């Protein structure tokens, strides 16, 4: 099934344009002047974004009989554009109070004693100068940080740190992490 991903001037994948059953031949929103009305509407709406840079066609391999799949959305979370080529994001880890953590989601947040903590992102393959925007995520109590968003910058394989506040006992809060090379989230539950 064919998806069309659009990417921003900084190389991040901005979104995916999907159609039930995939985009058929002649229904290409990346064409200069699409003849298909739906493709033309998608093209006009997407290319209106100020930071729009281009399109990447992605065939996930699902058959058109599936109707709809989420493989295009998955590429937003694990890929970036390298001069118009879909490229896998490098591996990274999250360091919380200098200890590596992995996989805390809203469904399975990391238990963390209430109070101050620090977060940084580590990756040996993210280039120096690359940035990650830290924004507020879903919460059932106070935010993890009072002054979000914050931008972290990679230097020598790691970002600077950001101070967070683990939520009160029993409440959950998170932050979203998004950059060209990093996409993820961190959820903490006050313990």
pLDDT tens across 61-86, in order?
888 777 788 888 889 889 999 999 99
Q: Given this structure, which CATH class describes domain 93-190? A: mainly beta
Mean pLDDT of the chain: 88
Residue 105 has pLDDT above 70, yes or no: no
Do β-strands 183-190 and 110-112 pair in parallel, antiparallel, or remain unpaired?
parallel
Over residues 32-49, the pLDDT tens digits come to: 888 888 889 989 999 999
Asked if 86 and 95 touch (Cβ cutoff 8 Å), the reply is no
Q: What is the pTM of this model?
A: 0.83
Q: Write down the H helix ranges in the chain.
A: 37-47, 71-78
User: Where along the chain do its domains lie?
Assistant: 2-88, 93-190
Is the separation of the CB atoms in 138 and 88 below 8 Å?
Answer: no
């Amino acid at each position: 099934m064919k998806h069309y991903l659009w990417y921003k001037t900084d190389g991040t994948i901005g979104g995916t344009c999907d159609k039930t059953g995939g985009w058929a031949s002649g229904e290409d929103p990346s064409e200069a002047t699409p003849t298909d009305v739906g493709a033309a509407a998608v093209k006009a709406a997407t290319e209106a974004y100020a930071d729009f840079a281009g399109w990447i066609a992605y065939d996930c391999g699902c058959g058109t009989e599936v109707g709809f799949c989420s493989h295009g959305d998955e590429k937003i979370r694990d890929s970036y554009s390298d001069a118009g080529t879909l490229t896998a994001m490098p591996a990274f880890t999250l360091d919380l109070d200098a200890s590596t953590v992995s996989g805390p989601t809203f469904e399975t947040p990391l238990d963390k004693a209430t109070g101050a903590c620090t977060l940084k992102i580590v990756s040996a393959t993210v280039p120096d100068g690359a940035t990650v925007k830290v924004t507020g995520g879903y919460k059932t109590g106070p935010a993890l940080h009072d002054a979000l968003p914050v931008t972290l910058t990679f230097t020598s394989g790691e970002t600077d740190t950001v101070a967070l506040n683990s939520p009160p006992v029993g409440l959950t809060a998170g932050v979203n992490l998004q950059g060209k090379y990093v996409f993820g989230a961190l959820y903490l539950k006050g313990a």
